[in-house]
Amino acid sequence: MKNQVILVSLDGMPAEVFKNAWEYHGSDIHVQELWTVYPSITVPAHVSILTGKTPEEHGIMENLVIEGPGYEKVSLYHPTKEEAMRIMPQDTIVHEFAAKGLKCGSINWPLGDGLPGENHSEDLTTHEEASGVRAAREKDKHAIELLKREMETGDKDFIAAHFEEYDGAAHIYGVDAVQTLDACAHMVAYIKELTETAKECGIEKMIFFSDHGMLDKEENFFPNVYVKEHGYEEEIARRQIYFLSDGSGCMQFYSRLSEEKNTAIVQCLRESGRIEKVLWLEGEAAGEEDKKLRRPRAILEMCAGGCSEDILDREEEKYHEMKGLHGYDPEHVREMNGFFLAYDPGNRLSLKGGKLKITDIPPMIKTLVMEGRTER
C-alpha cells in the first residue's frame, strides 16, 4: 500500500445535490454534509481547509484582497507566484509537512503557488460567461490526468487537487439547469475514476469535499453605488470607504473613517432592506508594511438571493446574467454547505456523523499523512 494522501476539492457543489447524485449512481460510500466557513467563498474556504482557521482568523475573505498603503485590489483568480507566496498563510499543513521533509504537490489549488512543493497552477475561471464553464471542464480533464499520473508515480506524500466545472456551471446557468446537472455527473464520474485508480495503485487515503454550496440569485445590489447615491459620494471618490465583493452573497467593508461614521454608513446600507447581518471585525492582519493584507472593518451578509457587486457605476455591472451564487453564512443559508466523502477502506478516520466543519479537516489530513511515519 502506498502511504499517500490525496485531498480533492469539487468546487461549489451543495451537499444535497451531491448526495442525490451519488446515491443515484449506487455507491455505498458514506457522504456527509460539510459545514463551510463564512464567507462561503472559494479561496477563503480552500485556505481554511489547509490551516484549520476561519477566514476571520486567516484574513482572506474573498477571491479578491486589498493590500498596501494604497489599498490596492488584488485578484486571487490569477495571482502571480509572488502574490500567491505573499498572500497564502505560512502556517498551512502543507508548510508543516514540508518542514518535516515530506514531499507535497498541488493541482490547480487556489493560491497553490503559495504552497511549498511542486504545484501545477492554472488561473481560476471567472463566472461571467459560458465560455468559462467550457474552459473549466477542459482544465478539469487535464487536472484529472495529472492527478492520476501522480497517484501512479506515488512519489509525493500529500497532494491537493481542485476541480471547478460544477461551480462555473451553477454560476452561469443556475443550480437546477441541465448544464449544471451534467457538470455534477462529471464530478461524480471523476470520484469514481479516482477511487478506481486508488485501488489499482494501492492508495487508501483520499478525501473528497466541496468548499461551499450554491443558491439561485434573485437580485443584484451595488453597495458602492448605493452609498454614493445616499450621501457618501465624496467618501467613495476619495477612497475613504470601499465595499469589496465579487458577485457574492456578502461584502467586505473597508474604511479609513471613524467608528461613528462607519456605523452610520452601515446603517445606511441596512436601510436598503438588503442586509441580513453585519459582522464587525477587529485588528489588522500581519504582514509586510508595504504589502500588508488590509483587514475590512466589517462583513455584511446579503439577504438570501441577493448578489453584491463592488462596481462604482451601474453601467460597469458584470454579473447581470449570473444565475447562481454563494458567500452567505451557512447558519442562515444552509444551501451554502458542501459535502465530505472519505475513501478510507481502513476506517482510519472513524467518522461518527455530527456537525463536521471545514476547519475540522486539517487534523484528519495530518493523522492520515503522519500514520506510520517518523519525523525526518
Task: Calculate the average pLDDT of the chain.
Answer: 91
- Domain co-membership, 146 together with 207: yes
The pairing of strands 275-280 and 250-255 is unpaired
Q: What is the pLDDT at residue 27?
A: 54
Mean pLDDT along residues 250-270: 96
C-alpha cell at 244: 469589496
Mean pLDDT along residues 101-121: 96
Residue 375 domain-assigned (yes or no): no
Instruction: Please choose, from the candidates 196, 10, 207, the residue with its C-alpha nearest in 3D space to the C-alpha of residue 108.
Output: 10
Q: What is the pLDDT at residue 291?
A: 52
Inform me whether the pLDDT recorded for 376 exceeds 50: no
- Domain co-membership, 206 together with 225: no
CA distance to 73, 192, 257, 289, per residue, from 70 (Å): 9, 48, 15, 11
Give the range of the structural domain holding residue 99, as residue numbers without chain letter. Answer: 5-215+331-370
CA distance to 264, 269, 373, per residue, from 276 (Å): 17, 11, 48
- Domain co-membership, 209 together with 230: no
Residue identified by cell 455527473 is 185
- Domain co-membership, 256 together with 138: no
Number of domains in the chain: 2
- Domain co-membership, 55 together with 194: yes
Residue 239 domain-assigned (yes or no): yes
3-state secondary structure 40-72: ECHHHHHHHHHHCCCHHHHCCCCCEEEECCCCE
Last residue of a domain, one of 303, 323, 343: 323
What is the tens place of the pLDDT at every residue in 322-368?
A: 999 999 999 999 999 999 999 888 777 766 667 999 999 999 999 99
Residue 361 domain-assigned (yes or no): yes
Q: What is the CATH number of the domain that holds 89?
A: 3.40.720.10
- Residue 247 contacts by C-beta under 8 Å, 6 or more apart in sequence? 127, 307, 308, 309, 318, 319, 322, 325
Residue 376 domain-assigned (yes or no): no
Residue 43 domain-assigned (yes or no): yes
- Domain co-membership, 124 together with 147: yes
C-alpha cell at 60: 482572506
Residue 58 domain-assigned (yes or no): yes
DSSP assigned state of 238: T
The pairing of strands 324-325 and 250-255 is unpaired
The reported pTM is 0.94
